[in-house]
Structure 1
Amino acid sequence: MKTTGEPTPSLGQTLEWLRKELAEMQVQDQQLLLTLRHLHSVLAELQAQSVHWDDARSSRGASPIRARAGSEGKGCQPVSLRGLAQILRGEESRRSSLP
């Protein structure tokens, strides 16, 4: 809400503010897309590991511990739950900057 002492922004200033806001939103969209792609790949890997564990449990003579030990050296990166939590808490979220 505006007070009577504040000047009314011109149309040019308002359009410039809108351009700035749209540009910030596009950057956020790109960051969210990258995060979504990363989460998708992590979920796909976890699903593959789950299938691997289920196969190891159902096969005779192979214990799940040995099956896991065989897959650990294949370059699987641990999931950074701390980084994911920061993103989900909105530490990189856009703040409102209304004119």
Structure 2
Amino acid sequence: MEMPGEPAASLGQTLEWLREELAEMQIQDQKLLLTLRHLHSLLEELRAESTHWQDTRPSRNTSPFRARLGSEGRACQPVPRQLTELLRGEKSRRSSLP
């Protein structure tokens, strides 16, 4: 026999679970936004470098090796830990029902 308070407790547990899931989804959304912003900035850098590369094409008298030395000497930007974890699938959101 069901107790009168049991459906309310079940509803309360379900609502609590939903709150936790929504909070977790908000955190994921923030991480995705950071990743998107980072990728956008990388794309902008690549576009600028590509434009610069096209604007400064070497003449026939310059060797291709010497013309490329300037852009290749720069170090790559490190990939943020959060992006690495996201791409590896670490800290992935679990999908479970109450």
Is the pair's TM-score, using the shorter chain for normalization, greater than 0.5?
yes
- Equivalent residue, structure 2, for 1:3: none
Task: Name stretches of at least 5 consecutive residues in structure 1 with no aligned partner.
Answer: 1-7
Give the whole-Å Cα distance in 2 for the aligned partners of 1:24 and 1:32.
12
TM-score (norm 2): 0.67
Change (3 A) 1:94 1:86: same
TM-score (norm 1): 0.66
- SS for the counterpart of 1:23 is helix
Give the whole-Å Cα distance in 2 for the aligned partners of 1:36 and 1:64.
34
Give the whole-Å Cα distance in 1 for the aligned partners of 2:48 and 2:96.
44
Shift of 1:38: 0.1
- SS for the counterpart of 2:56 is helix
- Structure (1 or 2) with the larger CA radius of gyration: 2
Q: Deviations over 1:6-35 (max 9, x none)?
A: xx8700000000000000000000000000
Q: Which amino acid aligns with 1:26?
A: Q
- Equivalent residue, structure 1, for 2:39: 39
- Equivalent residue, structure 1, for 2:3: none
- Equivalent residue, structure 1, for 2:50: 50
What is the aligned residue count? 90
**Identity score, percent:** 66
Query: Which has the bigger relative contact order, CA under 8 A and spacing at least 6?
Result: 2
Give the whole-Å Cα distance in 2 for the aligned partners of 1:65 and 1:53.
13
Change (3 A) 1:98 1:64: farther
1:23 aligns with 2:16: no
Displaced runs of 4+ in structure 1, greater than 2 A? 59-73, 76-80, 83-93
